[in-house]
């Protein structure tokens, strides 16, 4: 056994008469921990923190070395495949970057014996525009496929309201998961009982006129890509730093996930999603679609499975837990094979009953970030009124059991305590209220019995903020819970005001969260008041 340090070895070849034929020398270095040949664990949880026009802050979960090993010495940070830094701790600020530019990062770990791990999962981040007017936090909004109908909300409205300039990401809701495939290209009324449904017309065949278009130009009859997806592509061209993701599932279209995520179906399912949404290969319908028709629309995939193991419109199975994690791994593998930097995200339930039956510590390393749906904690399905999206617990809340933890802070803490970096978590904001009628006139209607759901424009018990703000009813604030409501003596609506959104954005900053996301744009007013409150509140 050689001692630590540099050693020169000399090899001599001789013949049978001891005559030297040739010699060769080599210098080798023996590490102090010469018996350590095992690399540290691969760094996980790579997350983006504060961004400026010229820098991006990164953090990740510390690696561990093998038992009896030489110990973790530090990390190597790679930007777009090139080594840019070697910090000793699990964080790094990459500087000297170009404004409004996207970069892909990976990190590996090194030990004191010189062993290096594989590079971890890539994360992509963009520097801010050079005007200093944005925040460094994620500002994500959902655009709904069906919003172009009764709500008369177009992709153009995201821009004309002033919201687009404040966004980092848009999620398009939704893509259906049916028969172990991403089902694309059909037009069929949605059936909550079977999960069937689709709207290729809204997605990519509807022709928008010049006045409805982001670009100001009308669609032509022979365009292979029309509809909402072409409008999103136009919006991205106007705002180059913006990313657009397809959200799969949602409440109505999630029942297919449990089967699709099973080992026998997983690989083909993921491949079908990537083929349609990332490679852009669309079924031809109504003169639109074809190979590569949607290429460049979507920058990643958002999984909105409601809910693994637990119950949404349908109930899951215990096997969903492991299958959910494995599904994330398979999406990550196939996305990286197409192009490193493609995004993979999830929208997850915020109730502890939804969180504890999955394994965030296992699945988060495959994800760029997690949208925690911190709303719909309470609604007209409850006999008593309550806050639909409280920020904190209140000692006055009469809820029992798991519902005692139905608030944003307890949801966020549940993920952090399970090993998810705070910077990977986004807080959810609803652009609507939940309402009750027949409410007992006491305590300004809060925590009181009700006879049923308040009438709503599209559905009983729910109403857009843009409608609720004009009711001019008495308004109330629960400073302990961080929640607001209005009450007229018999009907109560619980929803976030711009002021309460500002308070929640302060929480995002204080807790070091990655940002916020909103459901959904059409609930805002024509001036984008709520989206501006989210963006301004994160500065």
String of DSSP letters for 402-416: GGGG-SHHHHHHHHH
State the chain's maximal CA–CA distance in angstroms.
Answer: 114
Q: How far is residue 314's CA from residue 258's CA, in Å, rounded to a whole number?
A: 10
Q: What is the pLDDT of residue 95?
A: 77
Q: Are 485 and 476 in contact (CB under 8 A)?
A: yes
Strands (DSSP E) found in 313-468: 343-349, 369-373, 425-430, 432-437, 452-453, 462-464
Mean pLDDT of all residues belonging to the chain: 92
Residue 153 confidence (pLDDT) above 60: yes
Q: Are 256 and 178 in contact (CB under 8 A)?
A: yes
Among candidates 222, 247, 219, which has minimal Cα distance to 233?
Answer: 219
Q: What is the pLDDT of residue 29?
A: 44
Q: What is the pLDDT of residue 19?
A: 52
Q: What is the pLDDT of residue 33?
A: 43
Mean pLDDT of 422-434: 97
Mean pLDDT of 401-406: 96
Q: How far is residue 94's CA from residue 164's CA, in Å, rounded to a whole number?
A: 27
Mean pLDDT of 30-39: 68
- DSSP class of residue 459 equals B
Mean pLDDT of 248-264: 97
Domain range 44-126, CATH class:
mainly beta
Report the Cα 228 to chain-centroid distance in Å. Answer: 21
Residue 364 confidence (pLDDT) above 80: yes
Percentage with pLDDT > 70 across the chain: 92
Q: Are 189 and 197 in contact (CB under 8 A)?
A: yes
Mean pLDDT of 159-188: 96
> Which residues are CB-neighbours of 338 under 8 A, at least 6 positions away?
274, 278, 279
Higher pLDDT, 403 or 12: 403
500-525: per-residue pLDDT in tens? 999 999 999 999 999 999 999 999 99
Q: Are 277 and 203 in contact (CB under 8 A)?
A: no
Name the segment(s) of the chain with CATH classification 3.20.20.80: 138-370
**Judging by DSSP bridges, how do beta strands 20-30 and 5-14 pair with one another?**
antiparallel
Residue 1 confidence (pLDDT) above 50: no
Token duo for residue 27: 């210098």
Q: What is the set of active-site residues?
A: 306
Q: Are 188 and 196 in contact (CB under 8 A)?
A: yes
**Judging by DSSP bridges, how do beta strands 492-494 and 432-437 pair with one another?**
antiparallel
The correct answer on CATH 3.20.20.80 for the domain covering 138-370 is yes
Q: How far is residue 227's CA from residue 205's CA, in Å, rounded to a whole number?
A: 5
Name the segment(s) of the chain with CATH classification 2.60.40.10: 44-126
pLDDT confidence bin for 11, thresholds 50/70/90:
low
Q: How far is residue 105's CA from residue 371's CA, in Å, rounded to a whole number?
A: 21
Residue 477 confidence (pLDDT) above 70: yes
Q: Are 137 and 213 in contact (CB under 8 A)?
A: no
Higher pLDDT, 421 or 20: 421
365-398: per-residue pLDDT in tens? 999 999 999 999 999 999 999 999 999 999 999 9
To 5 degrees, how large is the angle CA 221–CA 226–CA 229?
Answer: 180
> Which residues are CB-neighbours of 454 under 8 A, at least 6 positions away?
380, 435, 436, 437, 460, 461, 463, 491, 492, 493
Mean pLDDT of 70-88: 90
Q: How far is residue 356's CA from residue 425's CA, in Å, rounded to a whole number?
A: 16
Angle at which helices 529-537 and 498-511 pack, to 10 degrees? 30
Percentage with pLDDT > 90 across the chain: 82
pLDDT confidence bin for 149, thresholds 50/70/90:
very high
């Amino acid at each position: 056994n050689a001692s630590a340090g540099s050693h020169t070895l000399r090899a001599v070849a001789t013949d049978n008469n001891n005559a030297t034929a040739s010699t060769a020398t080599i210098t080798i270095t023996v590490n102090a921990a010469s018996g350590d040949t095992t690399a540290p664990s691969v760094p996980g949880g790579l997350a983006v923190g504060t961004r400026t026009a010229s820098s991006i802050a990164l953090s990740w979960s510390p690696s561990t070395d093998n038992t009896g090993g030489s110990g973790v010495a530090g990390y190597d940070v790679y930007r777009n495949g090139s080594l840019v830094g070697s910090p000793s701790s699990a964080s790094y600020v990459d500087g000297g970057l170009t404004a409004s530019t996207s970069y892909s990062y990976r990190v590996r770990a090194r030990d004191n014996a010189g062993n290096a791990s594989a590079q971890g999962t890539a994360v992509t981040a963009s520097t801010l525009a050079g005007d200093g007017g944005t925040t460094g936090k994620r500002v994500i909004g959902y655009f709904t496929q069906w919003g172009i109908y009764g709500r008369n909300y177009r992709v153009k409205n995201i821009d004309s309201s002033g919201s687009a300039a404040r966004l980092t990401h848009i999620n398009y809701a939704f893509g259906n998961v049916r028969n172990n495939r991403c089902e694309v290209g059909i037009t069929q009324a949605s059936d909550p009982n079977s999960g069937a449904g689709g709207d290729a017309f809204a997605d990519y065949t509807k022709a928008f006129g010049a006045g409805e278009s982001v670009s100001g130009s009308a669609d032509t009859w022979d365009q292979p890509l029309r509809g909402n997806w072409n409008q999103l592509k136009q919006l991205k061209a106007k705002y180059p730093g913006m990313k657009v993701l397809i959200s799969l599932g949602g409440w109505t279209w999630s029942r297919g996930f449990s089967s699709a995520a099973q080992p026998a179906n997983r690989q083909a399912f993921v491949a079908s999603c990537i083929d349609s949404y990332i490679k852009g290969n669309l079924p031809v319908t109504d003169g639109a679609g074809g190979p590569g028709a949607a290429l460049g629309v979507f920058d990643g995939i958002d999984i909105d499975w409601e809910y693994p193991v637990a119950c949404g419109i349908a109930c899951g199975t215990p096997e969903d837990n492991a299958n959910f994690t494995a599904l994330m791994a398979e999406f990550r593998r196939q996305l990286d094979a197409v192009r490193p930097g493609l995004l993979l995200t999830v929208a997850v339930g915020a109730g502890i009953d939804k969180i504890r039956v999955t394994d965030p510590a296992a699945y988060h390393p495959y994800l760029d970030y997690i949208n925690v749906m911190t709303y719909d904690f309470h609604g007209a399905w409850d006999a008593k009124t309550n806050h639909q999206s409280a920020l904190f617990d209140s000692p006055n809340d009469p809820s029992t059991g798991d519902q005692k933890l139905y608030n944003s802070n307890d949801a966020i803490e549940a993920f952090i305590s399970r090993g998810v970096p705070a910077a990977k978590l986004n807080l959810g904001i609803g652009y609507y209220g939940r309402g009750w009628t027949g409410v007992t006139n006491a305590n300004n209607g809060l925590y009181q019995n009700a006879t049923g759901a308040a009438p709503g424009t599209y559905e009983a018990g729910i109403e857009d903020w843009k409608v609720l703000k004009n009711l001019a009813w008495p308004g109330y604030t629960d400073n302990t819970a961080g929640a607001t409501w209005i009450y007229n003596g018999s009907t109560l609506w619980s929803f976030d005001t711009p002021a309460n959104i500002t308070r929640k954005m302060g929480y995002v900053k204080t807790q070091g969260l990655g940002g916020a996301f909103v459901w959904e744009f059409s609930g805002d007013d024509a001036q984008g008041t709520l989206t501006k409150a989210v963006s301004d509140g994160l500065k």
